[in-house]
Amino acid sequence: MSQEQLDKLTALLRSRPKPEPFTVEAARARINELGDKMPPPADAVIETLTVAGCAAEWVSAPGANPNRQVLYLHGGGYVIGSPHSHRNVAYGIAKAMDARCLVIDYRMGPEDPFPAAVEDSVAAWQWMMEQGGNPARMAIMGDSAGGGLTIAVQVALRDRGIRLPACSVPISPWVDLEGTGGTIKSKADEDPMVQEEGLHWFSELYRGGADVRNPLVSPLYADLTGLPPMLIQVGSAEILLDDSNRIAAKARSQGVDVTLEVWDKMPHVWHLFAPMLSEGGDAIAKLGAWARERTS
Q: C-alpha 185: how far from its chain's center? A: 22
Cβ atoms of 266 and 190 closer than 8 Å? no
The arithmetic mean of pLDDT across residues 113-131, rounded, is 98
The arithmetic mean of pLDDT across residues 129-158, rounded, is 98
Q: State the Cα–Cα distance between residues 124 and 119, nearest whole angstrom.
A: 9
Query: Does residue 1 register a pLDDT over 80?
Result: no
Q: Active-site residues: which are they?
A: 144, 238, 268
pLDDT in tens, 46-104: 999 999 999 999 999 999 999 999 999 999 999 999 999 999 999 999 999 999 999 99
Q: pLDDT over 90 for what percent of the chain?
A: 97
pLDDT at 280 (0 to 100): 97
CATH number at residue 123: 3.40.50.1820
State the DSSP H helix or E strand holding residue 231, giving kind and residue range, or none if neither: strand 230-235
Query: Does residue 227 register a pLDDT over 90?
Result: yes
Q: State the Cα–Cα distance between residues 89 and 199, nearest whole angstrom.
A: 22
Q: How far apart are the first and last CA of the chain?
A: 31
pLDDT in tens, 241-292: 999 999 999 999 999 999 999 999 999 999 999 999 999 999 999 999 999 9
DSSP readout, 38-106?
SPPPTT-EEEEEEETTEEEEEEE-TT--TTSEEEEE--STTTS--TTTTHHHHHHHHHHHTSEEEEE--
- Count other C-beta atoms under 10 Å from residue 167's C-beta: 24
Structural domains of the chain, count = 1
Cβ atoms of 270 and 279 closer than 8 Å? yes
Domain of 120 in residue numbering reads as 3-294
The arithmetic mean of pLDDT across residues 195-212, rounded, is 97
Mean pLDDT of all residues belonging to the chain: 97
In degrees rounded to 5, what are phi and psi of residue 78?
65, 15
pTM: 0.98
